[in-house]
Amino acid sequence: MRYWKTLTAVATIFFAINFALQAEEIRLWEGNAPGAQGSEGKDIPTLTIFKPEKPNGASIVICPGGSYWGLADHEGAGYAHYLNKFGITAFVLKYRLASGNYHHPCMLQDASRAIRLVRYHAPEWGLDPNRIGIMGSSAGGHLASSLITHFEKETPAEIDPIERLSSRPDIGILCYAVITMGEFTHNGSKENLLGKNPSEGMINYMSNEKMVSSDTPPCFIWHTWEDNAVPVENSLQFAAALRKAGVPFDLHIYEKGNHGIGLAEKKIEGTDQTEVHPWGKDLIYWLKVRKFVE
């Protein structure tokens, strides 16, 4: 019995260490986040770090979807494990939500801090501070598109050394993203982000297709024609705005596939292997072009 307890304890420690090496959660702020309403889990934004076996120095912060009410794991850890296969260090962002009584600008503050935190620690973590991307799906895609259109440049006067750094990602990856707060928006995400009666000015400000500039980073955008939750016009309008501003992008519209499909992994018949939806392969091709994958 004593032997079994010892063996079990050793195994528990081994698996805990192995998991910690692959996924470690850190707080975005040592103290309370700006606008924090308490000290429970819902009040504490974090990054969970997923480290590849052979890191190439590139990193991507991932914003899962969930209508600004929840966080979908397959659009967080699922993406992280996929990116790890190609040497990218992935950071899954747990941002504050309407279900915890948070609204704009808290989500954008969390995403901004995440990019700055990765950039600040890049030297000690073996990462390139100029190869940091942001990725988001659905409402998480709105958060990602918000940061790439509302980022802040370096502010040397800030007391906090992390806040002195630019929050501009070097690339954006938008997966069936909510972009607009206008005609083609996802109403649940809009209300959870902005409340029930936002002003016309705030609606325009957070309609990110209207906020694109020549400083917006290059983007990979994909959507499906069949999406019955977030209309494909969200991606089409954003791509048109990027084109007008002279910002490079990859745009992929697939006919089939409902909203929230993620990687849509399926088993290859007759093998123990799986394959992902074509967008995953298209993304890796684009990441090679952008020097995020070797």
Domain spans of the chain, in order of start? 26-289
Task: Give bridge partners of residue 223 from the DSSP assignment.
Answer: 253
Q: Let me know if 51 is exposed, middle or buried by CB neighbors in 10 A (0-12, 13-18, 19+).
A: middle
pLDDT, mean over the chain: 92
Residue 189, SS3 per DSSP: helix
Q: What pLDDT is stored for residue 190 in this prediction?
A: 98
Q: Enter the pTM of the model.
A: 0.91
Helical spans, DSSP H, in the chain:
2-22, 77-84, 106-125, 139-150, 187-194, 200-205, 233-245, 278-289
Architecture of domain 26-289: 3-Layer(aba) Sandwich (3.40)
Helices 139-150, 106-125: crossing angle, 10 deg rounding: 70
Q: Is the peptide bond before 105 cis (omega within 30 degrees of 0)?
A: yes
pLDDT tens across 26-83, in order?
999 999 999 999 999 999 999 999 999 999 999 999 999 999 999 999 999 999 999 9
pLDDT tens across 113-142, in order?
999 999 999 999 999 999 999 999 999 999
Residue 12 has pLDDT above 70, yes or no: no
